[in-house]
């Protein structure tokens, strides 16, 4: 089978049929994008989606070992520049490739984020404290991916305990953005997004507790959907926190890969109906356009310009895009969210102390973590009130959608920030200011448990990716996927490849 044929299979058939079924003349009448934002319709030579790789393995056109070895070669070619692998398990991956688990992604190589336990592999949690910790069993979400047949090549980098919006942990050093090596990748799934953007693997595991799928997806120019709370398997065993912020899913190039990965990890516990058939949206949506941050922090002009273009694209597709002012005291929300986040940092510092047998301090945890933990300690008495506020927020968030279907905002306050600006050993207050300006949009959806996604539709004049964030209510995952499929078809990003790439 030739590469041209495989590419045709990837882009043709069902995708073309689905687009035709939309019946929207505006979709086909759109002029092609031009200038820095122009997207090629074809993927780079040799690139294939995860589903395409799985199909070729299943039909005998290739083998998992061939695909694993090719992915290892790609990883070795670019990782010296982007530093996105926390721990490699290449030898084990070759063994696993010869003992395949049947499933929709059987034999497909990927990476697991370094916050997730994958049996037999080191889990650093982005921290010096956990060097040498080997997971003895899979986390529930990891077990679902293993059952789907994926082959893990190792762990992708993450900041310490996923606590910040850049991926520059002291234990492995900064992960660099393949679009500009002087820039960060976002966090906390920064290693995953960098590896996918550089086309090392077609998708990678990611998680999101305050924006950690959507922020790096935006910063690295890939697709990332944060699922609704409780819809997919949990990332860790044990009791559920009073406000469960974190969810697990993936960053991908193709929307279809994201959809099928979603299916394999669904809980199917009766809370949600299983994800049904997904086709590009066929009806006009009411989209609230809210470019301002909730707390009034600065937004970069190139970010606003990119979002305006996305809003116009949605209008051209027949959607009703209307200005929306988020009815929220942003400073109050940010303060309470940050205090709850800081409680997590304090718990992690205690966990690190217990694992190492050493007192909490800069020898085992990073200054950023210690600073957050100190904030928690200074206001610990407020935590019950904060929990009540955050628990009540879902209803307040849902009220935003009384007269709209989807909320459109930026993902971050700017494109990728310079390496070092948010470094975990920088001045705490300076780093905090940068983080709050950068990660200015994503936290409300975590508190509400809502579905939200970053779609790579925008680019700065210098060529940095700028994601557009579309958010719904809890349970609106399918609706977002339908919109994503439409956007992918009319403004494809598959051919947008960074300067540092395996292809």
Residues sharing a CB contact under 8 Å with residue 365, sequence separation 6 or more, in sequence order: 127, 128, 129, 160, 348, 349, 352, 373
C-alpha dist (Å) from residue 265 to 145, 179, 247: 7, 31, 11
Annotation marks residue 188 as catalytic: yes
Residues sharing a CB contact under 8 Å with residue 448, sequence separation 6 or more, in sequence order: 393, 394, 397, 398, 473, 474
Examine residue 188 and say whether the peptide bond preceding it is cis (omega within 30 degrees of 0).
yes
Burial 47-57 (b: 16+ CB within 10 A, else e): bbbbbbbbbbb
Cβ atoms of 479 and 405 within 8 Å: the answer is yes
DSSP string, 155-216: EE---GGG-SSS---TTT----BTTBTTB---SSSHHHHHHHHTTSSSEEEEEESSSTTHHH
What does the alpha-carbon distance between residue 378 and residue 452 come to, in Å, rounded to a whole number?
33
CB atoms within 10 A of CB 403: 9
Q: Enumerate helices (H) and strands (E) in the chain, giving the number of each.
A: 17, 11
Annotation marks residue 25 as catalytic: no
Annotation marks residue 113 as catalytic: yes
* List 113, 226, 309, 336, catalytic entry: 113
* List 89, 165, 212, 468, catalytic entry: 212
Closest Cα partner for 287 from 322, 315, 326, 237? Answer: 322
* List 188, 254, 258, 468, catalytic entry: 188
Cβ atoms of 151 and 112 within 8 Å: the answer is no
What does the alpha-carbon distance between residue 124 and residue 144 come to, in Å, rounded to a whole number?
21
CB atoms within 10 A of CB 98: 12
The first and second tokens of residue 125, run together, are 């949690």
Phi and psi, residue 389, nearest 5°: -60, -45
Radius of gyration of the chain (CA): 21
What does the alpha-carbon distance between residue 44 and residue 494 come to, in Å, rounded to a whole number?
8
State the catalytic residues: 113, 188, 212
């Amino acid at each position: 089978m030739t590469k041209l044929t495989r590419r045709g299979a990837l882009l043709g058939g069902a995708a073309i049929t689905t687009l035709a079924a939309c019946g929207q003349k505006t979709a086909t009448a759109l002029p092609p994008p031009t200038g820095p934002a122009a997207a090629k319709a074809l993927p780079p030579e040799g690139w294939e989606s995860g589903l395409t790789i799985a199909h070729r393995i299943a039909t005998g056109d290739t083998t998992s070992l061939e695909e694993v070895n090719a992915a290892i070669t790609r990883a070795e070619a670019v990782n010296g520049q982007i530093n996105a692998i926390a721990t490699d398990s290449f030898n084990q991956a070759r063994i696993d490739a010869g003992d395949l688990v049947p499933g929709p992604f059987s034999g497909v190589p990927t990476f697991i984020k370094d916050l997730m336990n994958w049996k037999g592999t080191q889990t650093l949690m982005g921290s010096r404290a956990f060097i040498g910790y080997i997971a003895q069993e899979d986390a529930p979400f990891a077990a679902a991916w293993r059952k789907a047949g994926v082959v893990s090549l190792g762990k992708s980098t993450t900041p310490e305990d996923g606590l910040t919006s850049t991926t520059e942990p002291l234990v492995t050093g900064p992960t660099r953005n393949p679009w500009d090596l002087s820039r960060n990748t976002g966090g906390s799934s920064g290693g995953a997004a960098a590896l996918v953007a550089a086309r090392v693997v077609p998708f990678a595991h990611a998680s999101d507790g305050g924006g950690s799928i959507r922020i790096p997806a935006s910063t690295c120019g890939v697709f990332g959907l944060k699922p609704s709370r409780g819809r997919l398997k949990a990332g860790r065993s044990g009791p559920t926190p009073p406000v469960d912020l974190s969810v697990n899913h993936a960053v991908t190039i193709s929307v279809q890969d994201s959809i099928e990965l979603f299916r394999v990890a669904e809980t199917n516990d009766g809370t949600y109906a299983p994800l049904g058939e997904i086709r590009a949206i066929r009806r006009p949506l009411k989209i609230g356009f809210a470019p301002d941050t909730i707390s009034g922090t600065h937004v970069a002009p190139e970010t606003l310009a990119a979002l305006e273009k996305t809003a116009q694209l949605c209008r051209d597709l027949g959607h009703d895009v209307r200005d929306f002012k988020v009815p929220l005291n942003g400073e109050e929300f940010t303060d309470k969210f940050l205090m709850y986040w800081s409680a997590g940092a304090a718990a992690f510092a205690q966990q690190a102390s217990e694992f190492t047998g050493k007192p909490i301090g800069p020898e085992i945890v990073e200054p950023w973590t210690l600073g957050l933990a100190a904030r928690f300690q200074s206001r610990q008495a407020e935590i019950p009130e904060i929990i009540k506020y955050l628990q009540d927020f879902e209803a307040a968030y849902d009220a935003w959608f009384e007269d709209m279907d989807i909320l459109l905002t930026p993902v971050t306050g700017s494109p990728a920030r310079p390496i070092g600006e948010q470094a975990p050993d920088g001045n705490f207050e300076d780093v905090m200011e940068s983080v709050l300006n950068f990660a200015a949009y994503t936290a409300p959806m975590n508190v509400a448990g809502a579905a939200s996604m970053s779609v790579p539709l925008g680019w700065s004049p210098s060529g940095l990716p700028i994601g557009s964030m579309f958010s719904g209510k809890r349970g609106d995952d399918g609706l977002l996927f339908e919109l994503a499929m439409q956007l992918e078809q009319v403004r494809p990003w598959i051919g947008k490849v960074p300067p540092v790439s395996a292809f």
